Chain A
Amino acid sequence: MNRLTKLMVLAIVTIMVVSLVACTTTPAPGKPGDNGGATSAPDKPAEKVKIKFLSLSADENRNNIREDYIKVNVSKDMPNVEVEYDLGGGGQDYANKLKAYNASGDMPDVWFSEQNLSVLVVAAGNALDLYPYVKGSDFEKNIKMKDLVAPDQDGKLYCVQPGADQYFTPRLFYHKDIFEQYDVEPPKTFDELVTLCETLKGKGIVPMSIVGKDGWTPNLHMVQTMIMAEDPQVAIDLTNNKTDFSNPVVKNALGRIQKLVQVGAFADGVTNIDYGPAMEMYTSDKAAMLAMFTWELGGLESASPDTDFIPWPSASDSVDPNGIIQYWGAPLSGYLASASSKNPDVAAEFAIFCAVQDALYYNIDQKAPTMYDTGIEIEGISPLLQKNLDQFDAAAIKVPSMWAATFNAQMSAEFATENSKLLTGQYSPDEYIGVINPIWAKNFE
């Protein structure tokens, strides 16, 4: 009997030890210099190169680009490539999926990711340096904003993008009809905005629709917008790590959001309102205003033809709301390729191809400009779109988004938590700053 017990214990222990060793060794990063064989082009033309491509599939724009542009044009422009499409869903699911791939080192050849996810992949050494492929290419020549194709301090470029994001900016959209009906004017200062919200609230309409779930609207722009309303330089300093959240301007900014919550500017239960319902609330005329980025401009105009927008009102006499603008783009938001791809040349080429398809989609379907010059004249844009572009071009100071360009994973997560608490109206800016500042201190590590 003893022997049996021993046998079983031995078997279990062996398995545990073996897998313990196997599980705790870090996976070897992909071998970078293993492309000697792949570049020597095989003579057989029938041999197609397989590329695994992961993209967001919960977002209308991303789906259209993949279905109407990439799928259609790849057979024309890159006939030697056979693409395997991996649809990754959206939001946190997409993030978890990419994180899981990244953790196992088993990346798709090419994928789309936003800055805060890309950073993780780059840090894990799983992203391919695209600079050798971009340098001197047509792609480089056609990009109007040279920062987008310039290498970082280490001489590397991990991401290619069409430069459409750089034109997206947060605006305050409103229903002209509702404003007329209640005889109110668009606000020019923050104080006017507060008064306006009080008035609208008194009439029984939701003054401003925002996406409150996980603090989305404050995360993506409202905190920064409120900072810039008082002193744009503070926002610039934050993105450059020259100041922190204890700056009094930041505290005032948080105080302004709290003020909006307290006067009832947002719907009841705003912390549980997701993107879709927030849009629905505006387009079904239940809310008078909507805080949103201009990437929804076209859709809003067709859903609610009485839509107009204003730049976010300023909170200080010295700030001209038209003079400063926040833009969404970030250096690592776009297409990346895997460092362990079996065909790095083709992967890089495909990533650049995808970036061009993005530009085509925005220019043709969205009538939106991109930093990549496709040579297409954008025609027939509505007066509202034109007004947006004119105002955008006229702005003297353009500040990158802190959320998109600066925050790491932990900072994003905690920032979202704190913003969600702020939206309850029962949470003070001081408590907020006390929590977020120690995390901010580690953001640039």
Chain B
Amino acid sequence: MKDYFSNKMAIFIFAFPALFLFTIFVIFPIFPEILISFQKNDGFRNMGYIGFENYTNVLQDKTFWRANYNTIVIVILSTFVGLPISLIFALTMDRLSEPMKRFFKASSVFPAVLSVTVIAQMWIAIYEPMWGLLNTVLRTFHLDNLALAWLSDSRTVVLAISVAFLWQYLGLNALLFYTGIKAIPKTYYEAAIIDGAGFIRTSIKITIPLLQDVTKYLLVLSILGSMSQFSHVRIMTGGGPGDFSRTVIYQLYYKAFSASDFGQGCAIAIIFVIECLILTFIINRFVAREKIEF
């Protein structure tokens, strides 16, 4: 039996393919990226090593900081607005009648399974300043002052994109919360029922603390997901107006591909990985009581 679990050949065969694939496409690319980030490189030619010039250029670039700011806004919104709404949705769903429950369970994943392109395009139509749904509704309530050009106004554009992004995954997150709730044994609630505790108290005292694992999982997923937000921005505004809605990844894409400066593009990528590492550290240190395993 001991031979079974320490069969070296088998261990190699089981472990190697995945580690190999992972190394080639995930870990290895970091190395040329670090190299290129020290080069003057237009994507076709290495025009010599220039030390930290790409990094200083990136760090002095106002647009880079704006991109960081926008990214943080999206992360904060999805963590402190998106997840709580999903949680409340899940808690409410748990108390609905069976047919209603089935309806919500079915509909909530729907936006997430549709293509980003479709969802983003729909929100473009909703935000359209002249005939869009949002402004039409606002105008019918005589709130003409609030009928802005949502995606063309530097003050509202990030918020507008965030709403579209949050909304698309709201239902999926809610369903994951819900499945977590379902997994809680009924016995935990019996005492509460005898005490006569209401929905809100039961939720706060029993359900939410027991959802810790799901919460952690979703927290990490949504933070890292919104950190690397690109597609909604690309489709809805192309980073515009100007650079007002660029995220860090969009800025990376812009520098490398639109401005043909792979050196700065790679420098942004390295800085971004460092940012992600710091964020993970913070999650581990302050949010998760037990260490999340990575």
Contact = CB atoms under 8 A, between A and B. Distances in A.
Touching chains A and B, CB distance < 8 Å = yes
Interface of A: 1, 3-4, 7-8, 11-12, 15-16, 19-20, 23-24, 26, 92, 96, 99, 102-103, 120, 123-124, 212-215, 267-272, 409-410, 413-414, 416-418, 420-424, 426-427
B260 A421 contact: no
Nearest to B32: A23
B240 A269 contact: no
A345 B35 CA distance: 39
Nearest to A3: B8
Contacts of B46: 24, 26
B241 A16 contact: no
B180 interface: no
Contact of A269 (B32, B149, B239, B243): B149
10 contacts: A8-B12, A96-B257, A124-B45, A212-B152, A214-B240, A271-B241, A272-B149, A272-B151, A417-B242, A423-B152
A268 B149 CA distance: 6
Given A16-B31, A124-B44, A420 B240 contact: yes
A424 B44 contact: no
Nearest to B63: A417
A424 B155 CA distance: 11
B242 A410 contact: no
Contacts of B11: 4
Contact of B241 (A7, A409, A423): A423
Contacts, number: 122
A440 to B, nearest CB: 14
Consensus secondary structure, chain B interface = loop
Given A103-B44, A268-B152, A424-B152, A410 B240 contact: no
B154 A272 contact: no
Given A7-B12, A26-B45, A424-B242, A272 B254 contact: no
A12 B23 contact: yes
Interface of B: 6, 8, 11-12, 15-16, 19-20, 23-24, 28, 31-32, 35, 42-46, 63, 124, 128-130, 149-154, 237-244, 254, 257-261
Contacts of B261: 410
The listed residue with most B CB atoms (<10 A of its CB), out of A7, A8, A19, A417, is: A417
Given A15-B23, A272-B124, A424-B152, A120 B45 contact: no
A214 B238 contact: yes
Nearest to A105: B44
B31 to A, nearest CB: 6
The 3 residue pairs across chains A and B that have the minimum distance between CB atoms: A421-B242, A269-B149, A271-B241
Contact of A120 (B20, B241, B260): B260
B240 A19 contact: no
Contact of B152 (A15, A23, A271, A413): A271
Given A15-B20, A424-B244, 7 more contacts: A7-B12, A16-B31, A269-B149, A272-B124, A418-B242, A421-B243, A421-B244
